[in-house]
């Protein structure tokens, strides 16, 4: 997979993309990630990427040219006709684990970081862009949303996680939240790990985990169970 990230604030994304699971995905060649600084696609002395909105009002709007020029630059190096272009925006459809799975099989993702009030709407007339939101709250920065989306996708790519079963048991892989986990020491300040987990009895452990997943989901996220029921009908 190739991921391009277009941003006016490349420093926000560079370090997180060089750590942990995303680093592993890059090192293993599962994904190549290119970060583009929108200011490199300006031609004024101040490298201006935003401007006042026509019609007035508070806030600044990201200009169309830096995005367009950067996308043209990428298009000059590789075919972007099959790429998915995703604009980080609170007005998009809410990102979810199923969207992460859907995107994880794409060859090329182009993540566009909106900022301030938004982006000149004409960009949407030039390119087939989908807005994506990571939740019903407003961030000052599309960069953080791009990192969330990149992380959730890269960990699903083949050979990135040591144990892909670990992803299958994740919360949101199905309708159940994940079970509680314990690690050493077996006794910490008098708190013992549940006996079943140290029994070595795989079937009993699996049954215990499933019971905990159901209990936790019923208590905290009954909406997930309802949603799964409705989807199955």
Question: Is the Cβ of residue 133 or residue 217 nearer to ligand ADE in the bound state?
Answer: 133
The strand order across the sheet containing 61-62 reads 50-51, 61-62, 118-119
**Cβ of residue 93: shortest distance to ligand ADE, in angstroms?**
10
Q: What is the DSSP string of 99-163?
A: HHHHHTT-SEEEEEE-BTTEE-TTHHHHS-EEEEESSSS--SBHHHHHHHHHHHHHTTSTTTSS-
What is the smallest separation between the CB atom of 133 and ligand ADE, expressed in angstroms? 4
Residue 190 CB, nearest distance to ligand ADE (Å)? 43
- Nearest approach, Cβ of residue 137 and ligand ADE (Å): 6
Q: Which is nearer to ligand ADE, 135 or 185 (CB)?
A: 135
Chain centroid offset of residue 231 CA: 24
Please report which residue ranges of the chain form alpha helices under DSSP H: 10-14, 20-27, 64-77, 97-103, 123-126, 142-154, 164-168, 202-220, 222-232
Residues forming contacts to ligand ADE in the complex (CB under 6 A) are: 88-90, 114, 133-135, 137-139, 142, 145
Please say which residue, 144 or 167, places its beta carbon nearer to ligand ADE: 144
Indicate the pairing of strand 61-62 with strand 50-51: antiparallel
Residue owning tokens 């060649």: 29
Q: What is the DSSP letter of 199?
A: S
Closer Cβ to ligand ADE, 1 or 149, answer by number: 149
- Minimum gap (Å) between residue 135 Cβ and ligand ADE: 5
Nearer to ligand ADE, 59 or 222 (CB): 59
Residue 133 or 150: the one with the smaller Cβ distance to ligand ADE is: 133
Query: Minimal distance in Å, beta carbon 85 to ligand ADE?
Result: 14
Q: Contact, 132 vs 95, CB < 8 A?
A: yes
């Amino acid at each position: 997979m190739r991921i391009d990230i277009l941003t006016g604030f490349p420093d926000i994304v560079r370090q997180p993309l060089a750590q942990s699971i995303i680093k592993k995905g890059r090192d293993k060649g599962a994904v190549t990630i290119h970060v583009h600084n929108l200011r490199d696609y300006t031609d004024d002395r101040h490298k201006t990427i935003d401007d006042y909105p026509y019609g007035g009002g508070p806030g600044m709007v990201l200009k169309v040219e830096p995005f367009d020029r950067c996308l043209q630059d990428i298009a000059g190096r590789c075919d972007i006709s099959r790429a998915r272009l995703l604009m980080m925006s609170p007005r998009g459809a809410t990102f979810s684990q199923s969207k992460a799975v859907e995107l994880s099989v794409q060859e090329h993702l182009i993540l566009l970081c909106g900022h301030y009030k938004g982006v000149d709407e004409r960009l949407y007339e030039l390119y087939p862009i989908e807005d994506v939101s990571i939740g019903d709250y407003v961030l000052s920065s599309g960069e953080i949303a791009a990192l969330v989306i990149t992380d959730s996708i890269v960990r699903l790519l083949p050979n990135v996680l040591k144990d892909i079963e670990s992803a299958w048991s994740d919360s949101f892989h199905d309708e159940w939240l994940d079970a509680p986990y314990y690690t050493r020491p077996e006794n910490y300040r008098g708190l013992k790990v549940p006996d079943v987990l140290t029994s070595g009895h795989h079937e009993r452990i699996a049954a215990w985990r499933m019971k905990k997943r159901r209990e936790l989901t019923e208590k905290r996220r009954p909406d997930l169970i309802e949603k799964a029921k409705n989807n199955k009908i």
